[in-house]
Structure 1
C-alpha cells in the first residue's frame, strides 16, 4: 500500500450523507493498556446527515460534529462494566473517501462519582 493511501481525501471532514456500517473498532483504556477490547462489528453504524450519529449497540452512542478540517468531536455515552459514562472524544480523520471513513479518537469517559478514564479508539466504517 503506498503511503498516500492513508492520507485524508479532499477538503470535507465527512463523506456525503448516508449510512456506514462498522468495519472494525478497537477501544482501549489507556491507564490499563492491557485492557484492550476489540468491538464486534455486528450492528455498529455511523449515520451522516443533518445530525450525524455513531452507534455501537450495547456500548456507545454519540453525536458526531465536525470540529475543523479533518477533525470530529464525539459526545455521548459509553456503557462500560455496567456503568454509564459520559463520553467526550476528539477524532482525527486518518482516511476518508466517498465509501469509507477511518478515524483515530482520544478523550475521556466519566461515570457519576468516578474518576475520568482516558479512552483511545480506532474505527473504520464502510458503505
Structure 2
C-alpha cells in the first residue's frame, strides 16, 4: 500500500476504459484520500491474495479496518461509504442490493464491458491512457 491512511483499497481493471473512467472520477472527488486504487494488471497483484480470475470478473475492495474483501455491488457500496460526495448514493445501492437488482445490474455491466490490452503493453504491464 502506498497510503497508510487508506480506508479501502479498490482493485480496478487497467485494460477496461469504463473501469479507468470510474477510477478517475472517484479520485477526483476523493478529497480525503480514503480510496487507494490498484490496477489488477500491474505486477505484484498476487500479494493481495485475490485470484486474478476473480479480479477480472468484478471490481473488488479491501476494507482496511477489518481486512474484509468485497466485490461487485458491495465494492461500490464500500466506495460510497468512504467518499463523502458519494454517501447519498449508499442507501440507493443498499436498497438495490437488498431487492436483488443491484448485483444483477452490476453483473450485466461487468460482463459486457470492453477490455483493450492490444498495443498498450510494456514489460508485463498494460495501461490505457489513465
Q: Give the TM-score category using the shorter length.
A: under 0.3
Tell me which of the two structures has the higher relative contact order, counting C-alpha pairs closer than 8 angstroms and 6 or more residues apart: 2
Q: Which has the higher helix share?
A: 2
Normalised TM-score (structure 1)? 0.25
Normalised TM-score (structure 2)? 0.25
